[in-house]
Structure 1
Amino acid sequence: MDLDVVALSRFQFALTALYHFLFVPLTLGLSVLIAIMETVYVMTGRLIWRQMTKFWGVLFGINFVLGVSTGLVMEFQFGMNWSYYSHYVGDIFGAPLAIEGLMAFFLEATFVGLFFFGWDKLSRVGHLVATWCVALGSNLSALWILIANGWMQNPVGSTFNPETMRMEVTDFMAVLMNPVAQAKFVHTVSAGYVTAAVFVLGVSAWYLIKGRHIDLAKRSMTVASSFGLAAALSVVVLGDESGYLATEHQHMKLAAIEGMWETQPAPAAFTILGIPDQDGQENRYAVHIPMMMGLIGTRSLTGEIPGIKDLIESAEQRIRNGIQAYDAMLKVRAAGGRESASPEDVATLEEHVLELGYALLLHPYVDDPRQATDEQIAQAARDTVPRVAPLFWSFRIMVLLGMYFIVLMAVFFILSARRNLAGRPWLLKVAVWSIPLPWIAAELGWIVAEYGRQPWVIEGVLPTASAVSSLSPYTVLGTIIGFGAIYTVLIVIEMSLMLKAIRKGPEPDPGREVPLVTDQVSQRLVTSE
């Protein structure tokens, strides 16, 4: 069997990343929801809200532990499976990950303990602060991770040093304020909020169907529907921003998502449905909405979105320019650095350094890019096109689910406002059956984001094929089998614990109802009279 270490390494990272992201969105959303519930408890003194906080907090804790254990493995993979990637961009990529571990994760992990064990040891306000710190730490962790990921999509604030053969930071603030990273952060976090809202809504609906824990279920559904409606609307708005940024920074990804083979006159039409044919470079049975893609992608009537065929031609020219940069880089290194190299070589390198990565696309075909034939260059240019069909359908299913969540949350928000949550059993069943859908949408979103970037591990800088470690394919295959087995066991354990906690329901709260300050004042006035 012919095993490809690059394909296996990609599959392993995709497997662990998709497993890990089964836990992340619920952690992000539940951390904020339980903080909101505890805030209401502190403001009102009503024990039902503390009971709600504790109950949903147990489910958060189960999910949090599994998220941490699966996330740690991913960071080790950078050194094990992607050693050249770690060497090439470690100065840049490592900084956000280090900050995430030192600041966000320690904050989150420390206050998680206070949340679970501090109910009888901290004041109400003190415990509330700990709960909000858990939520803050969870979201800060996502921020730093997505800053690192956003840099892979749009490598700003850095430059290539031919003497060290590494990417180095030139402007760390540009890395932090990368527009792609910021858009990905708010979009991803909002998706996590939707996931938690649908989860809370569905579990609460199940309680109403069973006639159990009615007060907790109704209040939880009210919080989840209002919070989820705002989050679902945010996902759509912020997803539009991500698409607009892809128009600026990732032309091929956007063209593949839309199945846009030809450059259309502005404003381009949007393909609602169709069957992408990669070999024929066309969409069969396509249904279009005129002008819509141009308005979404460029926010204008005159902006042009390049098609895949034109982007292939552009990539071929950039590969040829990258070969010149590669040749100049070797000459500069042989001369001992820029100071000793000829001005012509230095000028050529500086002119085409941003296209050096395109020359590396030739490595699967020839060891020395300078020896590549015209056919190899043309093939490398064609390799810049990801598989269109998976992206095309992943994006559309994700968008369809996003619209569904808006409708679902809006319906339950209206019902909660009218205090009629238990009046329509069939709607409650819809909410229960909707629980898995946010995870499907989230996983499809990551497929669009990461699979759409191929063949680059860093957009335009480092091809995926050049980033892997020198490992035996059978070694990677063995770890895939191991990770798959272990992660499957972990998911079964988590599902069992979550279902057990849901079936058991909230624990009776032995605490004393604490009246509002205004109620205390009124009572004193009555007593004094």
Structure 2
Amino acid sequence: MDPGFVDLSRLQFALTALYHFLFVPLTLGLSFLLVIMECIYVMTGREIWRQVTRFWGRIFGINFVLGVATGLTMEFEFGTNWSYFSSYAGDIFGAPLAIEGLMAFFLEATFVGLMFFGWNRLSRVGHLFATFMVALGTNLSALWILIANGWMQNPVGARFNPETMRMEVVDFGAVLFNPVAQAKFVHTVSAGYVIASVMVLGVSALYLLQDRWHQVARRSMAVAASFGLAASLSAVVLGDESGYTLSDNQKMKLAAVEAAWHTAPAPAGITVFGFPDARAHVTRAAIDVPWVLGLIATRSLDTPVIGIEELVAKAQDRIVSGLVAYKAVQALKRNPNDLAAREALALHQHDLGYALLLRRSMRDPSQATPAQIEAAAWDTVPDVPVLFWAFRAMAAIGFAMIALFAIAFVLCTLRRFDRRWFLLCAVAALPLPWIAAELGWVVAELGRQPWAIDGVLPTGLAPSSLTRAQLWVTLVGFTLIYGTLAVIEFGLIVRTVRHGPDEHDEAPPLPGNLPATPLVA
């Protein structure tokens, strides 16, 4: 397939995915922040907490709508732009997405209306339950989507069926409890909690700088500081766990992220700074910290982190093995009862995807020369400089968020909301967690290349049979539409923030409401 066509297909999906992920993490985090704020309102009965909850609920609603709209586009793109991928792996990949729609999306749709319009119709506890179910639905949605994505990163619980020429589920439990999917889920939702906490913290700091809405701003800041500190610590710790799963399932991604060109003696050191040279296979001006990478990646002092060149050599061996499976598949197409071909496929089918890498440069992989096999093995190396710097920028922002929330927690505990230097820092930090989240997806998805399904289906074989003109039209169209939606959402949020909480946003108590108790100021 034309590499330029594949790159256009990847670019279109990448832009829609990155744009969609601007909304998802804020929805994940704000939903549970609303639960915390409303819990305080239910326990205390103080109207100020009702005012706080309803204000942040409006921002949640604006973001929620855009997240749903952009997510639906991505669902359709699997069929329109990646039809061979959908056909080849739809039995496995489609199941979590279907469950996400039936369980999570319907759960959100059922309760989101009650959350927004039920303030004066439900009791306090009833409305809190509706808010909690919306939060649960948003996080369940993320779980099932990341189970699907985790299977693409680590395709367990499935096998290739030579009769249907597709991947099929053999163990759905393995798909569900895929360690890569579980690590990605907890790390992703933690990042979402950090983003929402920074949003609440930054807007609250802006109000205090403007000398407006002091009561709402201080309470919002206190909740964001404590929730954000826990979330930022979790994001770093769970990010470390996500890195640990790479040492078992995606060794090439780990080596590329660390620019580990060669296998170093255990325990390997980590390069905190340097300039990877993809041509010379060295990292220039490298600053290394001994032992750290070995401890993070292997949890030991005696297990090496395998380098890129050694992994390429292994990929070359897997391509040779995969060619045996490829030839067996061709034989089974001609004669489904060929027992020798079935036996050969059974022995080598785990390497079949590596033989398919040769399709990038030739129609018949069985005719590949040793030089072509070596070139295909080097295609398994992703863009090392981009991954190296994207990961370090993401990690640096993560540690900066810990420092920000730690200071915020101390100041809120001491009730020192008048520190102008900190308020300015909180406002300036608003875009940082979004940048980190987008960089995280760049590391996760670019690091998987050249695979649509790691080790199973090369990206070059996954797209639909579209034309470049069709891709350019839709790419420009999506960019214009999403750009317009971004301007609208940003304008709505800015307008909501400028307006501030509604001073008269109160309602008479309903029968069954809990009595007010001064548990929280």
Deviations 1:471-517 (A, max 9, x none): 11121111111111111111000000000000000112233589974
Select 2:386's aligned residue among 384, 390, 395: 390
Change in 2 beyond 3 A, CA 1:165/1:124: same
With normalisation by structure 2, the TM-score equals 0.97
> 8 Å contact 2:51–2:506 — kept in the other structure?
no
Q: CA deviation at 1:5?
A: 1.0
8 A contact 1:200–1:221 mirrored in 2: yes
What is the DSSP-based 3-state SS (H/G/I as helix, E as strand, rest coil) of the residue aligned with 1:168?
strand
Separation in 1 of the partners of 2:192 and 2:42? 25
SS at match of 1:131: helix
The aligned counterpart of 2:304 is 304
Indicate the larger mover: 323-332 or 23-32.
323-332
Q: Which residue of 2 aligns with 1:483?
A: 478
Distance in 2 separating the partners of 1:162 and 1:460: 17
1:378 shift after superposition: 1.1
Cα offset, 1:120, TM superposition: 0.9
Q: 1:384 to 1:482 in 2, by over 3 A?
A: same
Q: CA deviation at 1:429?
A: 0.6
Partner of 2:322: 322
Residues 62 and 492 of structure 2 are in contact (CA less than 8 Å); yes or no, is this contact kept in structure 1?
Answer: yes
Work out the CA distance in 2 between the residues paired with 1:114 and 1:312.
55
1:341 aligns with 2:333: no
Give the match's secondary structure for 1:266: coil
User: What residue is the counterpart of 2:411 in the other structure?
Assistant: 415
Q: Which runs of 5+ in 2 are unaligned?
A: none
User: What's 2:58 paired with?
Assistant: 58
Which residue is 2:353 aligned to? 357
Match of 2:231 in 1: 231
How far off is 1:332 after superposition? 2.2
| CA contact 1:46–1:513 (8 Å) conserved in 2 | no
State the 1:182 CA deviation: 0.5
User: Does the 8 Å contact 2:3/2:460 carry over to 1?
Assistant: no
**Alignment partner of 1:83 is 2:93:** no
In structure 2, C-alpha distance between the alignment counterparts of 1:147 and 1:257, rounded to whole Å? 23
Which of 372, 375, 379 in structure 2 is aligned with 1:376? Answer: 372
Give the SS at the match of 1:484.
helix
Matches of 1:421 and 1:181, distance apart in 2: 40
Residue type at the aligned position of 1:163: E
1:52-71 CA deviation, whole Å, 9 max, x = no partner? 11000000000000001101
Matched-pair identity in % = 61
Q: Distance in 1 between matches of 2:87 and 2:367?
A: 26
Amino acid at match of 1:349: L
**Contact kept? 1:47, 1:513, Cα under 8 Å:** no
Correspondence for 1:464: 459
Q: Which amino acid aligns with 1:380?
A: A
Distance 2:263 2:274 in 1: 17
Indicate the SS of the match to 1:120: coil
* Structure 1 residue 184, shift from structure 2 partner: 0.4
Letter in 2 for 1:268: A
| Aligned residue identity for 1:425 | R
- Is the contact made by 2:28 and 2:135 (CA closer than 8 Å) also made in structure 1? yes
Q: Please give the alpha-carbon distance, in whole angstroms, between the structure 1 residues aligned to 2:224 and 2:516.
A: 28
Q: Is the 8 A contact 1:35 1:128 kept in 2?
A: yes
Look up the equivalent residue of 1:288 and give its one-letter code: D
Contact 1:226 1:409 in 2 (8 A): yes
Q: CA RMSD in A?
A: 1.3
Question: Does structure 1 retain, via aligned residues, the 8 Å contact 2:46–2:516?
Answer: no
CA separation in 1, counterparts of 2:286 and 2:508? 64
Describe the superposition over 1:15-48 as per-residue Cα deviations: whole angstroms up to 9, x where unpaired: 0000000000100000000111011101100000
Q: SS at the partner of 1:224? A: helix
1:402 and 1:219 map into 2 onto residues whose CA distance is 24
Give yes or no for the alignment of 1:433 onto 2:450.
no
Name 1:450's counterpart in structure 2: 445
Is this contact kept in 2: 1:107–1:137, CA < 8 A?
A: yes
Corresponding residue number in structure 1 for 2:136:
136
C-alpha separation in 1, matches of 2:400 and 2:131? 31
Provide the residue aligned with 2:506 in structure 1. Answer: 510
Distance in 2 between the 1:272 and 1:43 partners?
Answer: 47
Q: Find 1:494's aligned residue among 479, 489, 495.
A: 489
Using the alignment, how far apart are the partners of 1:519 and 1:361 within structure 2? Answer: 66
Contact 2:47 2:506 in 1 (8 A): no
Alpha-carbon contact 1:272-1:287 (below 8 Å) kept: yes
For 2:174 and 2:105, locate their aligned partners in 1 and report how far apart those are by CA, in whole Å.
Answer: 23
Equivalent residue runs for 1:51-130 within 5 Å: 51-130=51-130
Distance 2:360 2:131 in 1: 51
